[in-house]
Structure 1
Amino acid sequence: MKYIHYIALTLVIVGALNWGLVGLFDFNIVTTLFGIHTILSRTIYVLIGLCGVWLISLYPRIDD
Structure 2
Amino acid sequence: MSGLQRTCLTILIIGGINWGLIGFFRFDLISVIFGGAYTALSRIIFGIVGLCALYCLTILFKPSEELERGREPEIR
Q: TM-score, normalised by structure 2?
A: 0.78
Where does the alignment leave 5 or more consecutive residues of structure 2 unmatched? 67-76
Structural mapping, 1:1-64, within 5 Å: 2-36=2-36, 37-63=38-64, 64=66
Deviations 1:1-50 (A, max 9, x none): 81111110011000000000000000011001001111110000000000
More helix by share: 1
What is the percentage of aligned positions where both structures have the same residue? 34
1:27 match: secondary structure:
coil
CA distance in 2, matches of 1:60, 1:6: 16
Cα gap change, 1:61 to 1:28, in 2 (>3 Å):
same
Which amino acid letter does the alignment assign opposite residue 49 of structure 1? G
Cα gap change, 1:16 to 1:62, in 2 (>3 Å):
farther
